[in-house]
Amino acid sequence: MSEDRGTWHAVALELPAAGGTCALTIEDRNLLLCNVDGRAYVVADRCSHANAPLSRGRLTGHVLECPLHGGKLDVRDGSAVQPPIRRPIAAYPVRERDGKLEVSLQPLQQETTDA
């Protein structure tokens, strides 16, 4: 992962158990920290289809299911996997530094919402 991602922000939470998620807020952005087989991923905590909080959803492998309509997203890059979600959500770079997680708020791609 490139170090040239702007400002990195310390994550004040421990990585949840494998298959787990944890909501967090950094600079007024609602984010979701996900553990996929021991690897941390951070995505926006809002479904691009219905604006539902994804922190109430279920993570299976790298796929996060929205609790409202059952659409699915890939937490590795925020891409839509299953309708009714058609558009990606923001996914953010994560790194470990001195045993602590850090996240950059420069998304890997642009977040969009269904119209």
96 inside domain = yes
Strand partners, 24: 31
Q: What is the pLDDT of residues 63-90, one digit of tens each?
A: 999 999 999 999 999 999 999 999 999 9
pLDDT (0 to 100) of residue 112: 52
Within 10 angstroms of residue 11's Cβ, the number of other Cβ atoms is 20
Within 10 angstroms of residue 98's Cβ, the number of other Cβ atoms is 6
Report the number of distinct structural domains present in the chain: 1
C-alpha–C-alpha distance, residues 115 and 110, integer Å: 15
Q: What is the pLDDT of residues 25-40, one digit of tens each?
A: 999 999 999 999 999 9
Average pLDDT, the chain: 92
Residue 42 · residue 31 · CB < 8 Å: yes
88 is in which domain, residue-wise? Answer: 8-104
Instruction: Look up residue 24 and give its two tokens.
Output: 């967090």
109 inside domain = no
pTM across the whole model: 0.89
- CATH number of the domain at 13, please: 2.102.10.10
- Where do we find the tokens 């787990």? 20
**In the predicted model, is pLDDT for residue 111 greater than 60?**
no
